Amino acid sequence: MKKICFFHKKSNCELDEHARYSCSNQREESIEGQIRECQAYADRYGYIVVDTYIDRAKTGRKDTRPAFQKMVADSAKHTFDCVILWKFDRFARGRELKARYKKMLTDNNVEVLSVTEHIPDAPEGILLESVLDGLAEYYSVELAMKVDRGMKQNVLNKKCNGGTLTLGYRVDEDRHYVIDPVTAPAVLEAFQHYDSGYTMKEIVDEMNQKGIRSSRGSKININMMTKLLHNRRYLGEYRYKDVVVPDGFPRIVSDELFERVQERMKIVQKRSRQSTVEDEYILTTKLYCGECGRTMIGESGTSGTNGVIHRYYKCTGVKKHLGCTKKTVKKDWIEDIVIEQIMKVLYNEELLNQVADEVLKSFDKENTLLPVLYNEKKDIDNGIKNLLDAIQQGIITESTKERLVELETKRKELECEIAKEEAAKPVITKEHIMCWFENLKKYNIKNATHRRRLVDVFINAIYLFDDKIVLVFNFKDNTKRTKKEEIQKSTLSSALNNCCAPS
Give the pLDDT confidence of 72-128 residue by residue, as tens digits.
888 888 888 888 887 766 566 556 667 777 788 888 888 888 777 766 555 556 666
pLDDT in the model for residue 184: 93
- H/E stretch holding 329 reads strand 329-330
Q: Is the pLDDT of residue 238 over 80?
A: yes
* Confidence category of residue 7, pLDDT binned at 50, 70, 90: very low
* Confidence category of residue 427, pLDDT binned at 50, 70, 90: low
What value does the mean pLDDT of the chain take?
Answer: 77
Closest CA to 474 of 342, 368, 295: 342
pLDDT in the model for residue 499: 42
- Which residues are CB-neighbours of 288 under 8 A, at least 6 positions away? 294, 295, 296, 461, 462, 463, 464, 481
pLDDT in the model for residue 188: 95
Maximum CA extent, the chain:
105
Of 103-117, 285-299, 316-330, 341-355, which gets the smallest average pLDDT? 103-117
Of 22-36, 203-217, 458-472, which gets the smallest average pLDDT? 22-36
Mean pLDDT in residue range 373-379: 84
* Confidence category of residue 192, pLDDT binned at 50, 70, 90: very high
pLDDT in the model for residue 191: 95
pLDDT in the model for residue 498: 44
3-state secondary structure 49-79: EEEEEEEECCCCCCCCCHHHHHHHHHHCCCC
* Confidence category of residue 260, pLDDT binned at 50, 70, 90: very high
pLDDT in the model for residue 460: 85
pLDDT in the model for residue 187: 95
Q: 3-class DSSP state for residue 163?
A: coil
Most confident of 139-143, 215-219, 312-316: 312-316
Q: Are 183 and 167 in contact (CB under 8 A)?
A: yes
CA torsion 330→332→336→337, rounded to 10°?
A: 0
CA distance 107 to 75: 9
pLDDT in the model for residue 496: 42
Which has the higher per-residue pLDDT, 495 or 244?
A: 244
Q: Is the pLDDT of residue 167 over 90?
A: yes
pLDDT in the model for residue 477: 52
Q: Report the share of the chain in percent with pLDDT over 70.
A: 72
Most confident of 114-118, 122-126, 233-237, 367-371: 233-237
Q: Are 229 and 190 in contact (CB under 8 A)?
A: yes
Pairing outcome for strands 309-315 and 238-240: unpaired
Q: Are 88 and 54 in contact (CB under 8 A)?
A: no
CA contacts within 13 A on the Cβ side of 442 = 5
